[in-house]
Amino acid sequence: MNASPFATSARTATNRRVESVGKTVLAGVTALLILPLTAILGLLVIRGAPALSMEFLLEAPTAGMTAGGVFPAIVGTLWLVGVSLAVSAPVGIMAGIYLNEYAKANWLTRMVNLAIVNLAGVPSIVHALFGVGVFVLFLGLGTSILSASLTLAIMTLPVIIASTKEALAAVPMAFREACWTLGATRWQTIRHVVLPNSISGILTGVILQVSRAAGETAPIMFTGAAFYLPFLPQSVQDQCMALSMHLFTVSTQVPNVPEAIPYATALVLLSVVLLVNMFAIAFRTYLRRNRKW
């Protein structure tokens, strides 16, 4: 009796088994990535919850930072993230536009791209020393929010530039050619066609910048973050407290700190980063839904 032409061959059955094994392995790797995150969040919630309260969120540290809250550190973190974002986002996006849309493929462009990649791999402590030398001492900005924010902006520029280039490159060349055929200039094409269709990808780099800027300690430790500052900054010329610096301080420098305070501070830091990212992701999702292609 002849076999049915629709019967599964031995090769097909083997391929399906291999695919099933590969799917299981990939699912296992994904679970291994999620489990540590879940464990960290669970530990922070369990150990930090006893210290969390409205007073903890809205008061300044007291009793040598062994009591009170973290409100000045929250405000300082928002200052640092906001000012660094205001500097790095426009510069990074414009640099990405130039490198992808205008720059010719030559040795100079390749050197610039290599420099951007290398800058992304520089340790944060090196950025801190650069910030001290250039912004604090050479430019005379002193230890301030502005110096710390500029240091963070330099540190996070490579991510924004790279994500901008990738987002722009993802827009089909046919879109550009159609605009040029209709008589549009290169800038008109970028402004009205390329950027609207790549903005969601560009925002991905900005979101990563927000997360890194809020969590860094070394770059702000030497350039603008204060050990203890119970009042709020009034301008970018002032120093400020920051959640990452405050977490380092109460964990390693201050004796007799209740065990729950460092965990609660870490939980607040994660919450601030997540809230800022949620707003950015919601805006990115809105833009994606209204994308024209």
DSSP state of 68: E
Please tell me the predicted confidence (pLDDT) of residue 30: 87
Q: Which strand (E) or helix (H) includes residue 62? A: strand 61-62
Q: Give the mean pLDDT of 81-102.
A: 91
Q: What is the pTM of this model?
A: 0.83
Which pLDDT belongs to residue 103?
85
Long-range contacts (CB closer than 8 Å, 24 or more residues apart) made by 100-107: 100/164, 100/165, 100/168, 100/169, 101/168, 101/186, 101/190, 101/194, 102/186
**CATH number of the structural domain spanning residue 61:** 1.10.3720.10
Report if residue 5 sits inside a domain.
no
The values of phi and psi at residue 65, to 5°, are 70, 20
Quick check: is 4 in a domain?
Answer: no
Q: Which residue has the higher pLDDT, 293 or 245?
A: 245
pLDDT of residue 271: 87
- Say whether both 39 and 173 belong to one domain: no
Cite the DSSP H helix spans in the chain: 10-48, 54-58, 71-97, 107-120, 124-131, 145-169, 173-181, 186-189, 199-215, 218-221, 243-252, 260-289
Q: What is the DSSP letter of 7?
A: S
What pLDDT shows up at residue 75?
Answer: 92
Cα–Cα distance, 146 to 72 (Å, whole number)? 17
Eight-state DSSP code of residue 190: I
Evaluate if residue 150 carries a pLDDT over 90: yes
pLDDT of residue 181: 85
Q: Structurally, how many domains does the chain consist of?
A: 2
Same domain? 225 vs 188: yes
| 95 and 182, same domain (yes or no) | yes
pLDDT number for residue 231: 82
| pLDDT single digits (tens) 8-47 | 677 777 888 888 888 999 998 888 888 888 888 888 888 8
Model confidence pLDDT, tens digit, residues 131-142: 999 999 999 898
Same domain, 268 and 185: yes
Q: What percent of the chain has pLDDT over 70?
A: 95
Residue 120 has pLDDT above 70, yes or no: yes
Instruction: List all residues 6 or more positions away from 51 whose beta carbon is below 8 Å from its beta carbon.
Output: 258, 260, 261, 263, 264
pLDDT score recorded for residue 186: 87
Residues 116 and 98 in one domain: yes
- At residue 273 the predicted structure's pLDDT band, cuts being 50, 70 and 90, is confident
Q: Is the pLDDT of residue 290 over 80?
A: no
66 closest CA partner among 274, 261, 291, 273: 261
Whether residue 188 lies inside any domain: the answer is: yes
**Structure tokens, 108:** 């100079």
Instruction: Please give the Cα distance from 226 to 72 (Å, whole number).
Output: 10
- Six token digits for residue 143: 């230890």
Residues 97 and 33 in one domain: no
Whether 267 and 255 map to the same domain: the answer is yes
Q: What are the residues whose beta carbons fall under 8 Å from the beta carbon of 15, sequence distance 6 or more?
A: none
The answer to whether residue 52 scores a pLDDT higher than 80 is yes
Tell whether 94 and 17 lie within a shared domain.
Answer: no
Q: What is the mean pLDDT of residues 210-225?
A: 85
- Is residue 119 within 8 A of residue 157, CB to CB? The reply is yes
Contacts for 230 with CB less than 8 Å, ≥ 6 apart: 60, 61, 62, 72
- Which has more confidence, 287 or 104? 104
The rounded radius of gyration (Å) of the Cα atoms in the chain is 25
Same domain, 156 and 219: yes
Burial class of 35 by CB neighbour count within 10 A (0 to 12, 13 to 18, 19+): exposed
Choose between 292 and 103: higher pLDDT: 103
Percent of the chain with pLDDT over 90: 18
Dist. CA 208–CA 163, nearest whole Å: 10
Domain assignment of residue 139, yes or no: yes
pLDDT band at 84 (very low <50, low <70, confident <90, very high): very high
